Amino acid sequence: MSKVRQIINTSYCRYYSIQRAKKKLPIITCKRPEFNHYEGQTYSKFEGIKLASQGWNHPKSKQDYFIIHGNANKSIEPSIYRKSYDEIGLNPKLIQIMLESGFTLPTAIQAKAIPSILNGNNTVITAETGCGKTLAYLLPIFQHILEWKPSVKEDFNSPLAVIITPSRELATQIGEVAENLAQTLNLNVTTLIGGKTKQKMINPPIEYCDVLVTTLGAYSKLVTTGIYKIQNVHHMVLDEADTLLDDSFINKVSNLLKKFSIQYKVDIQVPPVGCQLTLVSATMPHELPETVNSFVAPESLKTVTTSNIHRLLPHIPHKFIRLGKAQKPSELLKIVQADVNLKRPVMIFSNKTATCDFVSMFLNENNVECININGQMAVALKIGKFEQFKSGKVNVLSCTDIAARGLDTIRTQHVINYDFPLYTADYIHRCGRTGRIGSPEDCSVTNFVAWPREIQMVQKIETSVRKNGELPSVNANIRKIIEDRIVKMGGTLARSSA
């Protein structure tokens, strides 16, 4: 009898616990409500965390889903970060430009980064996508240039600040933002991208330039040949620094930056002495590569960040749907047709160029106008297509990760991961194409999850949200990860054959 009473009491306690939890804010809601997760909910270390995605490797799990709501991991910044532009030391001319652009207060990352850069610190800016990082470094750099320019001997092709990016698309976009700032300040901005580097070496440009926005390859070549001079460069910025510091770029970055006199801290005088370094990204490895030591003292880097770094965007719902490979096209068509009917601009990400092309072709064949962008396209064609989407001529864009980093459009209301990304950093950057400053309020992310490796990644993300922690393994050094995995596999094969 006592055993029966114990079972009844246990069942009652569980029921009461669920009813009490339902009154709290839902963080995760699931097709199977027993896996719902609520605000403040914790898990016993003995029972472990029960995941909605736990059984998704089983074929019968298809069409299961869960939603991580926009309040997940939400953290309110302390009121100190709502200081005015004037309080953080911004020049009145720049404040006026910001006010005319509709920005009355700096964002959290701007309130932290602007004073650090103005004080001459080598600064690492790491913050969630779409929170104003570009202006966080452009505003203090422009302020310094306004102060320095009258005392610096002007020379052709001799910028005071250089902003380096890993892609031509991002360089073009940052260049546009910088040019808009410079218009009323009598400053010159030049955007230099690859593709015609040899032509520039044969017929060098001759122009006055205060701020140069460029890609790594193009700038390296034109510095090596002496076409661009470096003696006046007092600001060096690596935008999307996590990519520029991975194994794909780090040697070229190191060889270039060794040429500059990067100081432990620049003494802000007029004219300045030495060069100041700023690293910018939405994701950053916890440990920078040793090669960084060759051009900057790591201990000199002052990191400024927000509380939402390496977490899901706190204001966007993320839906994860378990699908079979054959189910993905019909599910995509249903969702995108609904977006088109509501005139919601949507970006659809695939892992491979072939899939990106298929998505575009499939949607167009089903009377949904769609354009596509991938890394194998010519630069002019890529930029032209993105402009079509950005300007509103087309509302559906199929793309690979070439469009995931840095490209800024506040039109995107929905991101669909047709292929789920295999790395956490890629997921953060893809989702960051929506829910940006100035975006509509009803933005969302939808994820198709089909393969075992994708399920494994989703389980890690779900676990981190349930534990209210950072997303796992945020590391953009993908090439190194793959090489390490190949080495390990080789060692395993060697041991098994022995």
pLDDT of residue 197: 67
pLDDT of residue 486: 43
pLDDT of residue 71: 66
Q: Return the CATH number of 84-305, one of 3.40.50.300, 1.10.10.1100, 3.40.50.2300, 1.10.3210.10.
A: 3.40.50.300
Which contiguous run of DSSP H or E holds residue 346? strand 346-349
Q: Structure tokens of 389?
A: 């989407």
Q: Are 38 and 24 in contact (CB under 8 A)?
A: yes
Where in the chain are all domains bearing CATH 3.40.50.300?
11-73+311-466, 84-305
pLDDT of residue 311: 76
Q: Are 75 and 81 in contact (CB under 8 A)?
A: no
Q: What is the mean pLDDT of the chain?
A: 85
pLDDT of residue 493: 45
The segments of the chain whose pLDDT lies below 50 read 1, 4, 7-8, 10, 13, 15-22, 75-81, 476-486, 488-489, 492-498
Report the alpha-carbon distance of residue 124 to residue 136 in Å, rounded: 11
Report the alpha-carbon distance of residue 125 to residue 153 in Å, rounded: 30
Return the exposure string of 309-324: e unless at least 16 CB atoms fall within 10 Å of the residue's CB, then b.
Answer: bbbbbbebbbbbbbbe
Report the alpha-carbon distance of residue 195 to residue 449 in Å, rounded: 37
Kindly report whether the peptide bond that precedes residue 298 is cis, defined as omega within 30 degrees of 0.
Answer: no
pLDDT of residue 205: 73
The three-state secondary structure class of 95 is: helix
Q: Are 228 and 212 in contact (CB under 8 A)?
A: yes
What CA–CA distances, in Å, run from 292 to 162, 395, 484? 18, 41, 20
Place of tokens 């902003």: 163
CA dihedral 46, 47, 48, 51 (to 10 degrees): 180
Q: CATH assignment of 11-73+311-466?
A: 3.40.50.300
pLDDT of residue 478: 42
Report the alpha-carbon distance of residue 161 to residue 145 in Å, rounded: 8
Place of tokens 């089983």: 58
